[in-house]
Amino acid sequence: MNEKILVIDDEVNLLNVIKDYLLLESYEVFTATRGKKALELFHEIEPDFIILDLMLPDISGEEICKRIRKESDVPILMLTAKSSEDDKVTGLYIGADDYLTKPFSPRELVGRVRAILRRTKGIELTDVLEFNDKDIYIDIPKRIVKKSGQSISLTPNEFKILLALAQNPHKVFSRSHLVSLAFGYDFEGYDRTVDTHIKNLRQKIEDNVKEPKYIVTVYGVGYKFEGEL
């Protein structure tokens, strides 16, 4: 069965373009131009993926995302005309999996959808993660991490952060979101704390810490893991 995608945007022309591109990829597409209708469709069709515009006339995209996250982990890609770092961080913090700033290429959007669906459907059922032809190996139950076949020692916090990133490759995490996933609580000074853990992790898993290929900085937002399964 083809994945069901719910697209929520009040720009009808853009909505139709997105729908056409997704239909070409054989997705089943449902659309809504208002937040109320979108929430009704969400409960009715139980979509596999949601594309959500932040600026809607009745209910904000942020509010819709918060409501959906209370009952579902369905992947959410946010569309925003806002370009400030705070807006992007807010979107990620409340539960979006990724974001695109308007204007964007429909092909890029389809690529993001495909990558996120592949990640969310393919990685959660395994206890072992291997990236880049086993260059990075993570045995989750045994808490074993290997780099190029050699075991490396991680602190408990380093392991939690690495696991949060590696279980969600290519997803951008704000620092506060990363703290929440890794530690389960917020604390003052988290920016400096996460940055320190990231620095230490890079020393242990990167070939060149000045040009990291696994834990990549997304300037103004946070970090993402770029290893390939």
* Domains with residue ranges and CATH for the chain: 4-122 (3.40.50.2300), 128-225 (1.10.10.10)
pLDDT at 186 over 50: no
Query: What is the distance of C-alpha 180 from the center of its chain?
Result: 14
pLDDT band at 104 (very low <50, low <70, confident <90, very high): confident
Q: Which residue has the higher pLDDT, 104 or 146?
A: 146
The Cα–Cα gap between 229 and 225 comes to: 11
127 pLDDT band, cuts 50/70/90, is: confident
185 pLDDT band, cuts 50/70/90, is very low
Of 99 and 35, the structure prediction assigns the larger pLDDT to 35
pLDDT of the residue at 84: 57
Average pLDDT over residues 122-139: 82
Percent of the chain with pLDDT over 70: 86
pLDDT band at 180 (very low <50, low <70, confident <90, very high): low
Q: Tally Cβ neighbours within 10 Å of residue 144.
A: 14
Distant-in-sequence, close-in-space partners of 169: CB < 8 Å, separation ≥ 6: 119, 123, 131, 224, 225, 226, 227, 228, 229
pLDDT at residue 54, rounded to an integer: 87
Please report which confidence band the pLDDT of residue 125 belongs to, taking 50, 70 and 90 as the band edges.
very low
Query: What pLDDT is attached to residue 122?
Result: 55
> Residue 219 belongs to what H/E stretch?
none
* Residue 52 pLDDT grade (very low, low, confident, very high; cuts 50, 70, 90): very high
Buried/exposed code over 81-105 (b: 16+ C-beta within 10 A; e: otherwise): ebeeeebbbbbbbbbbbbbeeeeee
List Cβ neighbours of 107 (8 Å cut-off, separation of 6 or more): 21
Mean pLDDT calculated for residue range 120-132: 73
Distance of CA 24 to the CA centre of its chain: 24
pLDDT, greater one: 6 or 185: 6
Is pLDDT above 90 for 27?
yes
Query: Can you give the pLDDT at residue 187?
Result: 45
Q: Which helix (H) or strand (E) holds 195?
A: helix 190-205
Q: How many CB atoms lie within 10 A of CB 206?
A: 16
